Amino acid sequence: MIPAEERLYAGEAGLMEALQQQAKDERLWALGLPEEIGGGGLGFMEYTHVNEAVGRSEHAMVALGTHSAQDATMLHLYANQEQKERWLRPLVDGEIYPSVGMTEPEVAGSDPTGVRTSAVLDEDEWVIDGHKWFITGANRAAFTTVFAVTEPDGPPHARASMIIVPTDSQGFDIVREIPVMGDVPEFAHCEIRLTGVRVPQENLLGRRGEAFRIAQDRLGPGRIYHCMRWLGQAGRAFDLMCERALAREAFGEPLAKKQTVQNWIADSAAEIRAARLLTLDAAEKLDSGDDARVEIALIKFFGAKVLHDVIDRAIQVHGALGVSGDTPLERMYRHARFARIYDGPDEVHRVSAARRILRGYSG
Ligand SMILES: Cc1cc2nc3c(=O)[nH]c(=O)nc-3n(C[C@H](O)[C@H](O)[C@H](O)COP(=O)(O)OP(=O)(O)OC[C@H]3O[C@@H](n4cnc5c(N)ncnc54)[C@H](O)[C@@H]3O)c2cc1C
Distance 212 CA to ligand 1 centre (A): 16
Ligand 1 pocket test, pick from 167, 348, 351, 355 with the greatest ligand atom count within 8 Å of Cβ, gives 348
Distance 249 CA to ligand 1 centre (A): 42
- Residue 327: give the domain boundaries: 213-359
Residues 219, 204: one domain?
no
Distance 345 CA to ligand 1 centre (A): 6
Residues 232, 339: one domain?
yes
182: confidence class by pLDDT, cuts 50, 70, 90: confident
Q: Quick check: helix, strand or coil at residue 277?
A: helix
Residues 108, 157: one domain?
yes
Closest to 119 in 3D by CA, of 146, 79, 154, 98: 146
Based on its alpha-carbon atoms, the radius of gyration of the chain, rounded to whole angstroms, reads: 21
Q: What is the pLDDT of residues 186-238, one digit of tens each?
A: 789 999 999 999 999 999 999 999 999 999 888 888 999 999 999 999 999 99
CA distance 53 to 61: 10
Count other Cβ atoms within 10 Å, centred on residue 46: 12
- Return the pLDDT at 185: 66
Task: Mention every residue, 6+ apart, whose C-beta is less than 8 A from residue 223.
Answer: 296, 299, 300, 343
- Return the pLDDT at 187: 84
- Return the pLDDT at 337: 96
363: confidence class by pLDDT, cuts 50, 70, 90: confident
Ligand 1 pocket test, pick from 70, 110, 194 with the greatest ligand atom count within 8 Å of Cβ, gives 110
Residues 218, 353: one domain?
yes
Q: What is the pLDDT of residues 123-135, one digit of tens each?
A: 999 999 999 999 9
- Return the pLDDT at 68: 87
Distance 86 CA to ligand 1 centre (A): 31
Distance 102 CA to ligand 1 centre (A): 10
CA distance 194 to 206: 21
Check if the beta carbon of residue 185 is closer than 8 Å to that of residue 11.
yes
Closest to 96 in 3D by CA, of 109, 105, 83, 107: 83
Check if the beta carbon of residue 106 is closer than 8 Å to that of residue 116.
yes
Q: Which atom of ligand 1 is nearest to the CA of 147?
A: 11
Q: Which atom of ligand 1 is nearest to the CA of 104?
A: 26
- Return the pLDDT at 353: 98
Residue 145, pLDDT above cutoff 80: yes
Q: What percent of the chain has pLDDT over 90?
A: 90
Residue 330, pLDDT above cutoff 90: yes
Longest Cα–Cα distance of the chain, Å, equals: 80
Check if the beta carbon of residue 103 is closer than 8 Å to that of residue 133.
yes
Ligand 1 pocket test, pick from 70, 103, 107, 147 with the greatest ligand atom count within 8 Å of Cβ, gives 103
CA distance 131 to 190: 11
- One-letter identity of residue 173: D
Residues 227, 322: one domain?
yes
Domain count, the chain: 3
| Domain end among 183, 208, 233 | 208
Query: What length does the chain have?
Result: 363
| Domain end among 208, 243, 263 | 208
| Domain end among 179, 208, 237 | 208
Q: Which atom of ligand 1 is nearest to the CA of 101?
A: 11
pLDDT, greater one: 217 or 24: 24
The pTM is what?
Answer: 0.95
Residues 266, 346: one domain?
yes
Ligand 1 pocket test, pick from 341, 346, 352, 356 with the greatest ligand atom count within 8 Å of Cβ, gives 341
Q: Which atom of ligand 1 is nearest to the CA of 180?
A: 1
CATH number, domain of 200, equals 2.40.110.10
Residues 106, 172: one domain?
yes
Residue 149, pLDDT above cutoff 90: yes
CATH number, domain of 309, equals 1.20.140.10
Q: Quick check: helix, strand or coil at residue 155?
A: coil
Residue 332, pLDDT above cutoff 80: yes
Distance 109 CA to ligand 1 centre (A): 5
306: confidence class by pLDDT, cuts 50, 70, 90: very high
- Return the pLDDT at 114: 96
Report residues whose beta carbon is within 6 angstroms of any ligand 1 atom.
Answer: 100-103, 108-110, 134-136, 189, 338, 341-342, 344-345, 347-348, 351
Q: Which atom of ligand 1 is nearest to the CA of 100?
A: 9
Q: What is the pLDDT of residues 279-293, one digit of tens each?
A: 999 999 999 999 999
Return phi, psi of residue 23, to 5°.
-60, -40
DSSP codes, 158-211 = GSEEEEEEETTSTTEEEEEEE--TT-BTTB-EEEEEEEEEEEEGGGEESSTT-H
Residues 191, 53: one domain?
no
Distance 362 CA to ligand 1 centre (A): 30
Give, in order, the Cα–Cα distances in Å from 106 to each of 86, 120, 130, 139, 169: 33, 20, 10, 21, 23
- One-letter identity of residue 96: I
Count other Cβ atoms within 10 Å, centred on residue 151: 14
Residues 172, 218: one domain?
no
Residues 350, 229: one domain?
yes
Residues 203, 219: one domain?
no
CATH number, domain of 24, equals 1.10.540.10
Residues 78, 106: one domain?
no
